[in-house]
Structure 1
Amino acid sequence: MSFDINVRHRLGDRDIALACRSDARLIALIGPSGVGKTSILNMVAGLLRPDQGHIGVGGETLFDNRAGIDLPVTDRHAGYLFQDLRLFPHMRVDANLRYGRRPGGRLSQQEILTFLGIGHLLHRMPATLSGGEAQRVAIGRALLSAPRFLLMDEPLTGLDRARREEILPLIERLRDEIGLPILYVTHDLREAERLADLIVEMPDA
């Protein structure tokens, strides 16, 4: 499954643009803060409308301004891992995982719990989780939405070295074993070099 992205968007005083077409398993967008990496993810997810261009994933057009195509967020089937995780603090892990769950995913809920090693966390509240545990729960929620592809925004930000080393192999397993293409945002070149089949640098304009 390939990403075919060629978009441009004016945000404030900055022009955000990306042209990338690849069937890489994991594409890393790198660059300093403020260059628009997260905005690109939001455009692919359907949360931000590009001013021009097109977005395709796996041969399906998600957006094309010339053709008048702009699929709703729910029809894009993106699993989005936000930088701030966005777990609901008033809901236990089990309820967080079930939120947004859709049928038709590649893995059952039990398979996802086993894959991520979070079955023992179901009755915990988010505030009681470590950073690594919360990250795995957020990944589980994204996988339970039956995604066709994953968007990951700085998933290691805020984690200490031990928690980073806990999550990095998990992302590698997502890349290698689950088979969902991943568009991955980071500012860390070493992280990108370890994980990505293709690295796309977004320069600071």
Structure 2
Amino acid sequence: MLHVEVAKQLGDFSVEVAFTSEGRVTGLFGASGAGKTSLVSMIAGLQRPDRGVISVDGDILDDATKSLHIAVHQRRIGYVFQDARLFPHLDVRRNLDYGRRMNRLTRDPVQETRLNDMLNIGHLLDRRPGQLSGGERQRVALGRALLARPRLLLLDEPLGSLDEDRKAEILPYLMRLRDEAGVPMVYVSHDPDELRQLASQVVMLKRGRIAAFGGPEILPA
């Protein structure tokens, strides 16, 4: 369960949001500038809310009244960005292993094989990111985040930089992760069709506030 009740002033713009989601995939929907990335940054710990509480499965990550702010590396939250952000000098195998090593986790070859199969990236392990398509890079970024064993996965417009063909390539993998990986996700998008296919609950943002909250049926046609 993800509970978010936060307020944050960002220059002339402010975010003031409160919701609780038990969905496997919580969609954050809104136009550019609605506050989606600011909200995800607070959940990740990259920004600290001025007021409020953030918790995952009852574990409090932020509580402004107690000056509590758990550091990013202690939150066990994976973050996949729009541009994948792989290390160009490392091959896919070492990119995948980066999160595990940074978190000092023991290798789990069974989980590695399972994710390689789930994301269809086993044949890419010896390649560098520059030798991959945009869709392949995003699949590797997903694998890297999941191998760090997060309790929550944040996906900030992960298909935003891809053309329609690459989006169609990646969506089935995202649906498979939703159904098989067992990690709850927060999925940021301005595309209602993506969220209809992926999200179980949707937070619709407008100018830093919740305009609607509910199932995918609240999304515009």
TM bin (shorter chain): over 0.9
Instruction: Find the counterpart in structure 1 of residue 9 from structure 2.
Output: 10
Partners of 1:11 and 1:59 in 2: how far apart?
27
Instruction: Find the counterpart in structure 2 of residue 92 from structure 1.
Output: 91
CA contact (8 A) 1:150 1:183 kept: yes
Instruction: Find the counterpart in structure 2 of residue 75 from structure 1.
Output: 74
Instruction: Find the counterpart in structure 2 of residue 170 from structure 1.
Output: 173
Matched, 1:185 2:184: no
Partners of 1:91 and 1:105 in 2: how far apart?
18
Tell me: CA distance 1:95–1:130, structure 2 relative to 1, closer, same or farther (3 Å). same
* Aligned residue pairs, count: 204
Partners of 2:47 and 2:84 in 1: how far apart?
19
Q: Which amino acid aligns with 2:4?
A: I
Partners of 1:171 and 1:20 in 2: how far apart?
24
Q: Secondary structure at the match of 2:206?
A: coil
Partners of 2:172 and 2:17 in 1: how far apart?
28
Partners of 1:28 and 1:93 in 2: how far apart?
29
1:90-147 CA distance string (max 9 Å, x none): 2111111111214379962121111111011111111110011000000000001110
CA contact (8 A) 2:154 2:185 kept: yes
Q: TM-score, normalised by structure 2?
A: 0.88
Q: Greater shift after overlay, 94-103 or 106-115?
A: 106-115
Q: 1:132 aligns with which of 131, 135, 157?
A: 135
Instruction: Find the counterpart in structure 2 of residue 50 from structure 1.
Output: 49
Instruction: Find the counterpart in structure 1 of residue 213 from structure 2.
Output: none
Instruction: Find the counterpart in structure 1 of residue 214 from structure 2.
Output: none
Tell me: CA distance 1:104–1:175, structure 2 relative to 1, closer, same or farther (3 Å). farther
Q: Which amino acid aligns with 1:40?
A: L
Partners of 1:162 and 1:147 in 2: how far apart?
29
Instruction: Find the counterpart in structure 1 of residue 117 from structure 2.
Output: 114
CA contact (8 A) 2:8 2:50 kept: yes
Q: Secondary structure at the match of 1:200?
A: strand
Identity of aligned residues (%): 48
Partners of 1:23 and 1:111 in 2: how far apart?
26
CA contact (8 A) 1:193 1:199 kept: no
In structure 2, the gaps of 5 or more residues are 209-221
Partners of 1:8 and 1:111 in 2: how far apart?
39
Q: TM-score, normalised by structure 1?
A: 0.94
Runs of 4 or more, structure 1, over 2 Å off, are 102-107
Q: Secondary structure at the match of 2:74?
A: helix
In structure 1, the gaps of 5 or more residues are none
Q: Which amino acid aligns with 1:110?
A: T
Superposed displacement of residue 169, structure 1: 1.2
